């Protein structure tokens, strides 16, 4: 029944995509529905009337969109059920499907690791299914047909789920390519914009390069084994050199899809141009599928891990975490900022996975399990709050037609419900207590603080530096999202669209984010529920669970021991409620201290205007001065002069451009080299048939010489 639920999740996502193709086939769908009712319900008149009413030409588009998202939501529900069932059952289920190559049917394996990521995907898909019908209603059918959007959304979700079920290299790569190609079409959905076309091309190019690296990684394992099934790959006997080569290839392939620095450049280009619910799935879920692939490859298929691999992940994760949040802070585009923030959070996960590898290779399996748990817990938390923030960004864009933060402001007045949900997302991603992001980052710090058990002096010096970088990353993330929330929802409106924005009318667009916001708070107060599930994964994959059994209690969280560190979210919540109650009572007791509403003080200037408010560049200026070397900064100030002798300043123009070092240092030289090589190769195209015959003759001679 558990595997059947997993299959149902995949089939329902496929079905949602196929149903979307029926957008222009109303009569065909009507005939199929009538035939089905006649066969199953003996031609029940009430069912026929309901179908005929909903498939009328004026109701058909709305009904079909809702039906597509209902199927997608059911897919998410079955994914959650399957994931929870396998996690609680602590079992492993295998199966074969008569697809694929004649001598290699598809092998399926559903275990704790697959189930945990099934659970993550299911929650995100459920939220998107609530959000989607209202969001896609704004697209014009003749310009952006729902058939293509719905089809590739279904295929995208199905591809991610199949990756988690794959138990052989062929099925894994087919599902991986299905996920990548379907998401390419979703990024290119609004293809009339040049930015969408270039972003989708860049995404597809890097996705295929990453896929090639993954194939080569599987090839290294397969060359030392008897087949392509994961069971055969687990039995491969690799030398340390070949194992390290396979690890580097896997890290490159999966890291490119996950968005690790420096192979992250596709992510801030693709996520902002995709529809917001697709951006949520890509950033919140697809990156986790890449993380799943890396964990499966390194912790499961490769077998023995080496501490040097952990150091590589630790360094890459530290650079990505710190660099990602610094890049995010400089962005005025909301979705681009959120995309760079995903680079930061993926970096944190890589850091803790690196710590897990280091502790495991040095003979400390319990601390390795703690790091593994912290990494998976942060992956779960990131899926929740990043989906919440991207869906919130979609609501803001839907109502204001803006993504530029400098053109917003004051939205809390017209969109109070959205502002509350977005605030929960900002507090969660900023790792504030009582929300889920704090718990996973606290566990990451607790892992790093156990460095004193290591004998290697290099590691004892490196890990505290990484922990300090993690602390700085957390502080910068809080500052970044103070900027985001303050400039979007507080102050005065900076544009007419922002001033006229009101709460979205479709309740489903609020229900999806509300579901995620509730889970962010619930997981922050009762983290033991998720920790218990992840402990099952750790026990199954690593053979070890979190060091302290008391961590499974609902009241206290003590990852190593109560004497070293402990945290009780329920008690913190109770303390916060008591403090809030005391403050409220004190303010209400004395009429002179009662809170009142008044106009913002204008400092005597005679009225506030939006131009007096901070802009993005003004807010981030101190950080830009301190970390100037992190970016390529082009800052220009020009003045328009007037009057006699041009002595009077008429206007001042300020221009700021901030660029990622990766483009000019890595990718532009590669592009120039490829172009130069292409020009050299192009010289052989002379247009002369005799030259081409000469090429063929020379090739034939070389082949005959090689063969003989």
Domain termination site, one of 546, 562, 580: 546
Q: How many CB atoms lie within 10 A of CB 97?
A: 12
What are 343-358's pLDDT values in tens digits?
999 999 999 999 999 9
* 2, pLDDT greater than 90: no
- Pairing mode of beta strands 93-101, 104-110: antiparallel
Q: What are phi and psi of 587, to 5 degrees?
A: -70, -30
Alpha carbon distance 673, 675 (integer Å): 5
For residue 449, pLDDT beyond 50:
yes
Q: Which residue has the tokens 């001042």?
A: 652
Which candidate, 149, 184, 309, 334, places its Cα nearest to that of 257?
184
Q: pLDDT higher for 147 or 176? A: 176
Task: Please compute the mean of the pLDDT values over residues 290-307 and round it to a whole number.
Answer: 90
* CB neighbours of residue 458 within 10 Å: 10
Please give the backbone phi and psi of residue 42, each rounded to the nearest 5 degrees, phi first. 55, 40
Residue 600 has pLDDT above 80, yes or no: no
Q: What is the total count of domains within the chain? A: 2
The more confident residue out of 84 and 601 is 84
Least confident of 65-79, 109-123, 598-612, 682-696: 598-612
Selected residue with higher pLDDT from 460 and 651: 460
SS3 98: strand
3-state secondary structure of 110: strand
Mapped onto helix, strand or coil, the DSSP state of residue 494 is coil
User: Residues 657, 634: contact at Cβ < 8 Å?
Assistant: yes
363 vs 590 pLDDT, higher one: 363
Residues 535 and 682 in one domain: no
Choose the final residue of a domain: 529, 546, 563.
546
Q: Is residue 255 part of a domain?
A: no
What's the CA gap between 399 and 391, in Å, rounded? 13
**327 contacts 340 by C-beta, under 8 angstroms:** yes
Residue 171 has pLDDT above 50, yes or no: yes
d(C-alpha 489, C-alpha 415), whole Å: 9
Average pLDDT value for residue range 289-299: 93
Q: Is the pLDDT of residue 576 over 80?
A: yes
Domain end residue (candidates: 546, 569, 594):
546
Q: In this model, does residue 518 exceed pLDDT 80?
A: yes
Q: Are residues 668 and 542 located together in one domain of the fold? A: no
Are 364 and 513 members of one domain? Answer: yes
Q: 538 and 673, same structural domain?
A: no
Confidence category of residue 317, pLDDT binned at 50, 70, 90 = very high
- Identify which of 286, 194, 210, 291 has the alpha carbon closest to the alpha carbon of residue 253: 210
Q: Is residue 390 part of a domain?
A: yes
Report the chain's mean pLDDT, rounded to a whole number: 85
Give the Cβ contact number of residue 532 at 10 Å: 17
Does the pLDDT of residue 558 top 80, yes or no?
no
Phi-psi region of 262 (alpha: psi -120 to 50; beta: other; left: phi over 0): alpha
pLDDT score recorded for residue 356: 92
9-23, 32-46, 146-160: segment of lowest average pLDDT: 32-46
Most confident of 38-47, 127-136, 667-676: 127-136
Instruction: Please indicate, yes or no, if residue 508 is contained in any of the structural domains.
Output: yes
pLDDT, tens digit, 9 for 90 and up, residues 522-544: 999 988 888 888 888 888 888 88
Q: What is the CA radius of gyration of the chain?
A: 28
Do residues 667 and 525 share a domain? no
357 and 496 belong to one structural domain: yes
Establish if 408 belongs to a structural domain. Answer: yes
pLDDT at 605 over 90: no
Backbone angles phi, psi at 557, to 5 degrees: -120, 110
pLDDT at 29: 59
Q: Are residues 676 and 539 in the same domain?
A: no
CB 44 within 8 A of CB 126: no
Q: What span, in angstroms and rounded, lies between the C-alpha atoms of 544 and 534?
A: 11
User: pLDDT tens for residues 129-139?
Assistant: 999 888 888 77
In a domain, 352, yes or no: yes
Long-range contacts made by residues 482-487, C-beta under 8 angstroms, separation at least 24? 482/426, 482/430, 483/329, 483/405, 483/616, 483/619, 483/620, 484/334, 484/337, 484/405, 484/426, 485/422, 485/423, 485/426, 486/614, 487/405, 487/406, 487/408, 487/409, 487/613, 487/614, 487/615, 487/616, 487/619
Instruction: Let me know: does 67 contact 146? Beta carbons within 8 Å.
Output: no
Whether the CA torsion 1, 40, 19, 278 is positive or negative: it is negative
Residue 91: name the closest of 76, 110, 68, 69 by CA.
110
pLDDT in the model for residue 592: 65
- 3 state SS of 96: strand
- What confidence score (pLDDT) does residue 35 get? 59
Note whether residue 173 is domain-resident: no
- pLDDT tens digit sequence for 205-264: 889 999 999 999 999 998 888 888 888 898 888 888 999 999 999 999 999 999 898 888
Task: Summarize the confidence of residues 373-381 as an average pLDDT.
Answer: 94
The residue with greater pLDDT, 549 or 219, is 219
Instruction: Report if residue 288 sits inside a domain.
Output: no
What is the average per-residue pLDDT within 410-427? 92
Burial 557-570 (b: 16+ CB within 10 A, else e): bbbbeeeebbbbbe
> Does residue 7 belong to any structural domain of this protein?
no
* Structural domain range at position 667: 663-707
CA–CA–CA angle 384, 255, 79 (5° rounding): 40
DSSP-derived pairing of the beta strands 632-642 and 104-110: unpaired
* Same domain as 670, residue 530: no
In this prediction, residue 528 carries a pLDDT of 85
Q: Is the pLDDT of residue 127 over 70?
A: yes
Structure tokens belonging to residue 200: 């989708």
Residue 154 has pLDDT above 90, yes or no: yes
| Residues 643-670, mean pLDDT to the nearest whole number | 77
Length of the chain: 708
The alpha helices in 401-435, defined as continuous H runs, are: 411-414, 416-429
> Under 8 Å CB-to-CB from 60, ≥6 apart: which residues?
26, 54
pLDDT of residue 551: 47
């Amino acid at each position: 029944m558990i595997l059947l639920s997993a299959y149902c999740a995949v089939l329902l996502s496929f079905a949602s995509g196929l149903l979307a193709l029926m957008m222009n086939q109303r009569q065909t769908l009507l005939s199929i529905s009538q035939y089905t009712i006649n066969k199953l319900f003996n031609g029940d008149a009430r069912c026929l009337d309901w179908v005929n009413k909903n498939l009328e030409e004026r109701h058909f588009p709305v009904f079909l969109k809702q039906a597509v998202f209902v199927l997608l939501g059911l897919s998410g529900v079955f994914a959650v059920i399957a994931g929870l069932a396998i996690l609680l059952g602590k079992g492993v289920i295998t199966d074969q499907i008569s697809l694929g190559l004649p001598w290699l049917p598809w092998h399926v394996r559903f275990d704790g690791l697959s189930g945990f990521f099934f659970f993550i995907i299911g929650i995100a898909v459920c939220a998107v299914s609530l959000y989607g019908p209202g969001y896609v209603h704004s697209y014009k059918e003749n310009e952006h047909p729902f058939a293509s959007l719905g089809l590739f959304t279904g295929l995208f979700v199905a591809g991610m789920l199949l990756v988690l079920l794959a138990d052989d290299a062929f099925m894994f790569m087919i599902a991986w390519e299905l996920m990548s190609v379907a998401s390419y079409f979703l990024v290119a959905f609004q293809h009339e914009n040049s930015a969408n076309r270039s972003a989708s091309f860049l995404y597809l190019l890097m996705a295929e390069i990453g896929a090639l690296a993954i194939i080569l990684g599987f090839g290294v394992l397969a060359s030392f084994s008897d087949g392509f099934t994961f069971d055969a790959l687990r039995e491969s006997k690799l030398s340390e050199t070949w194992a390290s080569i396979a690890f580097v290839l896997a890290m490159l392939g999966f890291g490119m899809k996950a968005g690790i620095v420096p192979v992250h450049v596709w992510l801030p280009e693709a996520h902002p141009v995709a529809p917001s619910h697709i951006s949520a799935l890509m950033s919140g879920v697809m990156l986790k599928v890449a993380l799943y692939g890396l964990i499966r490859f390194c912790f499961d298929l490769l077998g023995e891990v080496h501490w040097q691999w952990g150091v590589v992940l630790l360094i890459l994760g530290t650079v990505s975490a710190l660099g990602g949040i610094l890049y995010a802070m400089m962005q005025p585009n909301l979705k681009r900022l959120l995309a760079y923030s995903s680079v930061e959070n993926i970096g944190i996960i890589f850091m803790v996975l690196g710590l897990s590898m280091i502790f495991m290779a040095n003979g400390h399996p319990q601390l390795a399990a703690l790091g593994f748990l912290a990494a998976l817990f942060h992956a779960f938390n990131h899926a929740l709050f990043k989906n919440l923030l991207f869906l919130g960004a979609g609501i803001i864009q839907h109502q204001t037609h803006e993504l530029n933060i400098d053109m917003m402001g004051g939205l809390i007045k017209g969109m109070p419900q959205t502002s509350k949900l977005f605030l929960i997302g900002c507090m969660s991603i900023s790792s504030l207590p009582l929300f889920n992001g704090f718990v996973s980052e606290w566990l990451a710090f607790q892992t790093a603080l156990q460095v004193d058990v290591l004998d290697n002096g290099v590691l004892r010096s490196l890990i505290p530096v990484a922990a300090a970088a993690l602390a700085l990353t957390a502080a910068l993330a809080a500052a970044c999202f103070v900027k985001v929330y303050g400039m979007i929802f507080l102050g005065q409106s900076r544009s007419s669209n922002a001033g006229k924005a009101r709460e979205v009318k479709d309740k489903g667009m609020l229900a999806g984010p509300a579901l995620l916001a509730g889970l962010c708070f619930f997981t922050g107060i009762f983290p033991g529920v998720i920790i218990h599930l992840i402990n099952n994964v750790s026990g199954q994959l690593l053979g070890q669970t979190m060091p302290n059994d008391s961590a499974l209690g609902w009241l206290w969280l003590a990852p190593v021991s109560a004497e070293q560190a402990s945290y009780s979210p329920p008690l913190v919540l109770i303390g916060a409620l008591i403090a809030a109650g005391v403050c409220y009572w004190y303010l209400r007791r004395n009429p002179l201290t009662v809170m009142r509403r008044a106009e913002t003080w204008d400092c005597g200037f005679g009225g506030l205007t939006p131009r007096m408010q901070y802009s993005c560049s003004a807010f981030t200026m101190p950080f830009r001065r301190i970390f100037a070397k992190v970016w390529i900064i082009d800052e220009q100030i020009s003045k328009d002069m007037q009057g006699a002798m041009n002595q009077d300043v008429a206007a001042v123009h300020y221009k700021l451009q901030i660029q990622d070092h990766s483009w000019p240092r890595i990718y532009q030289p590669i592009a120039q080299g490829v172009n130069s090589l292409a020009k050299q190769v192009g010289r052989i195209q002379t247009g002369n048939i005799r030259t081409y015959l000469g090429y063929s003759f020379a090739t034939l001679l070389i082949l005959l010489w090689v063969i003989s």
